[in-house]
Structure 1
Amino acid sequence: MQAKNIDPCLTYYVYAYLNLPEVQKAIHANVTNIKLFDWEPCSDVINWNDYAITTIPILRELVDSIVRVWMYSGHIDGRVPFTSTLASLGTMKMETKALWRPWFHEGEVGGYIQVFKGDLTFVTVRGAGHMVPSNQPGRALSLISHFLTRTPLPDKP
């Protein structure tokens, strides 16, 4: 089921909301009350030259330290295609614990899942782009709920 009634002005609402002084105070943002720049999703003000080229070493450290990790991607994500994430995971050379299979939500295929040894799970979400909760809120909630309750995603409709 496709998400319905997504407001195309959502970005404007988020921008306005996150620039409200009471919101910034509540989330402990802009505690110095700098008025030079508004909050925005991306900015050229800060140039990050010290970021990691890949998160694979961090992911490897988490998996090796027995932290349960679920990664997810939308099927139609043009920014970070799920095929690229799967290829990156392949560089870690982890054994498969559970083969690639569909998972279900409300009687439909919600996406696909593969589990690797070391407690790393990769999940795709059908019909979602880069912003999975905005594109497929029901499927996103199901995914997060199953992660938090440590229950497997349904393998039957």
Structure 2
Amino acid sequence: MIQGVGLNIYNLYAPCWGATGYQERYAADMSNLYRQYQFNVAVPPPGAPIPGVPKCINATAMYVWLNQNNVRQALHIPGFLPNWELCSTQVTSQYQRQYMDMAPFYQELLQSNVMTTYQPWYYQRQVAGFFKEYEQITFLTVKGSGHMVPQYRPAQALKMFECFLKNTTYL
């Protein structure tokens, strides 16, 4: 079992901010990040957990920015709604699944024709991952990324989204 050994289960290549030895580094990073800014929201003290954030995830910057009054107003978020949280228990408790198992949908999609074989795709002449295109779906990986691709590989995520939206190949 890998729980409790300091491994970041969301990104195996990234540090686990909640693990032993990272508390000091986390506090130093946060103090440097916010030294020039004044916010109207409470910044948790170094090492204090932020509501709704799993271990190993550093969501302080998102939490602080998304809960600023001017940002909430720009996003048209009513003032009566609670603060933003990465993994909100309020949202999870009220979420209702329409489908409990997506396997039948994938099996149906995969019955369609293979358009391209499993092959690498590139960003700036470097292998960015691999993909395989079917008639109605593309399976794509992003090399070196964690669970949240735009967080760990933003440039590659942008290319991936652009190719998807323009319906162009990932080559």
Match of 2:94 among 48, 52, 66: 48
CA–CA distance in structure 1, aligned partners of residues 143 and 124 of structure 2: 13
Structure 1: give runs of 5+ residues left out of the alignment.
61-88
| Fraction of identical pairs, as percent | 28
Higher relative contact order (CA 8 A, sep 6+): 1
**2:134 is matched by which residue type in structure 1?**
F
- Cα RMSD for the two superposed structures: 2.9
Within the alignment, does 1:38 sit opposite 2:86 as a pair? no
**1:50 is matched by which residue type in structure 2?**
Q
Give the aligned partner of residue 158 of structure 2: 141
- Contact 1:18 1:39 (8 Å CA) reproduced: yes
Distance 1:93 1:136, change over 3 A: closer
Q: Give the 3-state SS of the residue equivalent to 1:34 in structure 2.
A: coil
Give the aligned partner of residue 103 of structure 1: 121
Normalised TM-score (structure 2): 0.56
Distance 1:90 1:124, change over 3 A: farther
CA–CA distance in structure 1, aligned partners of residues 103 and 94 of structure 2: 19
Q: Give how far 1:49 is off.
A: 5.2
Normalised TM-score (structure 1): 0.61
Structure 2: give runs of 5+ residues left out of the alignment.
1-12, 15-25, 31-57
CA–CA distance in structure 1, aligned partners of residues 125 and 110 of structure 2: 34
Aligned residues: 116
CA–CA distance in structure 1, aligned partners of residues 96 and 68 of structure 2: 30
Structure number having the greater strand percentage: 1
Q: Which has the larger radius of gyration?
A: 2
CA–CA distance in structure 1, aligned partners of residues 102 and 64 of structure 2: 32
Deviations 1:42-101 (A, max 9, x none): 1223413521324567xx5xxxxxxxxxxxxxxxxxxxxxxxxxxxx3464423222211
CA–CA distance in structure 2, aligned partners of residues 54 and 130 of structure 1: 20
Give the aligned partner of residue 15 of structure 1: 63
